[in-house]
Structure 1
Amino acid sequence: MVKNWLAAGAAALTLSVTATASYAQTTTVPGEQVGLAVGAPLPEGLYAINTFVYRQTPDLGPGALPVDVGVNVPVLVWSTPLVVAGGRFELALAPPTVFAFGKRGGPAGIRDLSINVGTFVGGIWAFDLGSNFGVSLLGGVYLNELNGDRGVLVNNSGNFVGAPVLGQLASNTYRFGIAGSYTGDGWNITANLTANIYDSPARFPGPNVPGFGITRGPFIISDSLNLDLTATKKFGKFEIGAIGYGTYNFDTSFRSLAFGNRGRFALGGLIGYDFGPFTAQIYAARDVVTAVPRSENTEVWGRVVVPLYTVAAAAPPPPPAPIIRKY
């Protein structure tokens, strides 16, 4: 079971997005892969993973958007029987959703909303290098131009506040990643680097939403890199350890959605428990480096990993029987 849910991190490579344009970053949320051995191949089978993050955003004063943010990502991963050059092929599908929660009541408070992120489709090529080491390569795309949403903030009185909430969804997001993991003796030591590439400048389809400002674009979207780090240890069914994650934006010019926001890095801790039919994890982190003064975020994550079915590995053949001769 431990190999199943640790390696299921290869599936979690499909998670979601940021909260608002003022916190613009990769479509892939930094931290979505920590706690999982994303470099290790999954045993053949079908896996369901659900990850949810709640971000408590700081209130920087009258100009700040008084919202907290949540992201929910249900993921299906099929670890296929196809093995090429020693690497197993895995297919992933995920339809992420972003939520914004108003922090203030009254007519000027922000109305709660949800935003569809373009469905992610991708493939993973994962190798078992032996001695509990693994490495994986990922390629895929968030189909934002097919079913992504721009998001429009409205106050409780129905008046326009801001748009788009997720300007990066004006473009499909092309995702590439490489990860390495060590999973011996109950350890999960993993590093993962993820790139998000955009067609920039990009526009949402159709006209601007009447009465809701420039919701169509064009928007300059920064290509970005994420780094997710994990160092945890299993003690029986329990797991505990440290995590770290961050993002780096390449284009922070005044035209970019990431204007003035070079990136961030957070540190925190994780606990997990193997219930048998499924495994659960909870982890939390707070920004220790941020490009925007007094904008440190606190994030709390929850994850459930359920192997829907797995194919047992073939037992090794028995040793040959000795040949007995009579003379």
Structure 2
Amino acid sequence: MKNILAVGAAALSLGMMATGVFAQSTTVPGEQVGLAVGAPLPEGVYAINTFVYRSPDAPVVASPVDVAVNVPVLVWATPFVPLGGRVELIVAAPTVMAFGRNGGPNGIRDLTINVGTLVGGIWAFDLGGNFGVSFLGAVHLNELDGGRGVLTTNGGAFVGAPVLAQLASNTYRAGIAASYTGDGYNLTANLTGNFYDSPATFGGNNTFGTRGPFVIADALLLDLTATKKFDLFNEGKAKFEFGAIGYGAVNVGSNANIVGRQGRFALGALVGYDFGPFTAQAYVARDVVSQANYIDAVGRQRELDNTEGWVRLVVPLYSPTPAPAPTAIVSKY
């Protein structure tokens, strides 16, 4: 596919803490890199699944879990093009997983958390000359079906809760993206904002202090892509894709003054292949800037960097059948 619009969204930034102030985003930083998010899709229905696994470069005592997120997305590129921009409707149901890095009764037990279902839409314009721009408006319905997560040890002892305090509020998401897709290139910049009703509380009982209120900072995320497709085996079509990617997030707004200016940025490389019925991509990135820190065994403050591995599949499920060419009307006399 020349133009693939990634719309889904998810939650990463898993904060293993039980304080009253949080600065995590719900959208996963990097979840849209490698995709021409600014370009409109051809009319049809598309399934996109993106999976990321994050491993921190820190001792277990400072960062006791690895984190994974799976983001299944369904996109309907409708036939409606008001003012020349295609309307595309989206729904996603992300899942966050945490895996304890240490065994034994004191290690952290694996857990899974449902992120609130994402619903929304995109208005995508073809500006000509292989340039496109799109606008996104969506919401994660965290208050309806989002989880909170409770950390326990393998021995069953309580460690902390909630794991994802930002899911105490719906996540209101807005985005703007621009793409150039000529000559096999995908040059894309995508800016996304996450906004919360803060302070926020979880519904239900107050077990282990998981109800709140929690002060949540808004977040801005930037995803950058610079890749090109090549016909390596003279197949008549450029199927291999290689290039560089970068992404990051920072918390903003008045609540960021409470939590401090937290942020990170990662750089990496991407490889992809168009198999015909579906497209596959894989990319790896590592933090080059991080404001997360931990104290090492000798009491020194160290930067907590992460390495992330990603896998994505894009499957076109439906496209309208082209209308048959008009048949000439022949009148007999």
Counterpart of 1:92? 90
Matched, 1:30 2:25: no
Map of 1:295 onto structure 2? 304
Report the Cα distance in structure 2 between the residues aligned to 1:158 and 1:167, rounded to whole angstroms: 21
Q: Is the 2:216–2:255 Cα contact (8 Å) retained in structure 1?
A: no
Give 5+ residue unaligned stretches, structure 2: 231-237, 294-302, 327-333
Change (3 A) 1:206 1:134: same
Query: What is the letter of the counterpart of residue 124 of structure 2?
Result: A
Q: CA 1:122–1:157 in structure 2 vs 1: closer, same or farther (change >3 Å)?
A: same
Distance 1:57 1:311, change over 3 A: same
Post-superposition Cα deviations, 1:199-249, rounded to whole Å, max 9, x if no partner, equal 00000001212xxx3111100000110000000000021000000000011
Alignment of 1:153-302 (within 5 A): 153-209=151-207, 213-235=208-230, 236-250=238-252, 259-260=259-260, 262-293=262-293, 294-302=303-311
Which of 152, 158, 163 is 2:150 aligned to? 152
Measure how far apart 1:254 and its partner are. 9.0
Q: What is the deviation of 1:40?
A: 0.4
Alpha-carbon distance, 1:252 to partner: 8.6
1:113-164 CA-to-partner distances (Å, cap 9, x unmatched) read 0000000000000000011000000001000000001100010010101111
| SS of equivalent to 1:49 | strand
Name the amino acid aligned to 1:215. Answer: T
**In structure 1, distance between residues paired with 2:63 and 2:257:** 20
In the TM superposition, residue 60 of structure 1 has moved relative to its aligned partner by 4.2
Structure 1 runs (4+) greater than 4 angstroms displaced? 21-24, 251-256, 312-317
Identity of aligned residues (%): 66
Q: 1:153 to 1:201 in 2, by over 3 A?
A: same
Displacement of 1:91: 0.3
Return the letter of the residue paired with 1:214. G
Question: Partner of 1:42 in structure 2?
Answer: 41
Task: Give the equivalent residue in structure 2 for 1:321.
Answer: none
Number of residue equivalences: 307
Which AA in structure 2 matches 1:226?
A: L
1:143 and 1:202 mapped to 2: Cα distance?
Answer: 14
Compared with structure 1, are the counterparts of its residues 48 and 159 closer, same or farther at alpha carbon in structure 2 (3 Å cutoff)?
A: same
Q: Distance in 1 between matches of 2:319 and 2:47?
A: 12
Kept in 2: contact 1:27–1:173 (CA 8 A): yes
User: Which runs of 5 or more structure 1 residues have no equivalent in the other structure?
Assistant: 318-327
1: CA distance, partners of 2:253 / 2:120: 26
Greater displacement, 246-255 / 275-284: 246-255
* Counterpart contact for 1:175–1:195, Cα < 8 Å: yes
2:252, 2:261 within 8 Å by CA — same for their partners in 1?
Answer: no
Question: Contact 2:23–2:218 (CA<8 Å) still a contact in 1?
Answer: no
- Distance in 2, matches of 1:107 and 1:261, equals 36
Aligned-pair CA distance for 1:57: 1.8
CA distance in 2, matches of 1:251, 1:139: 19
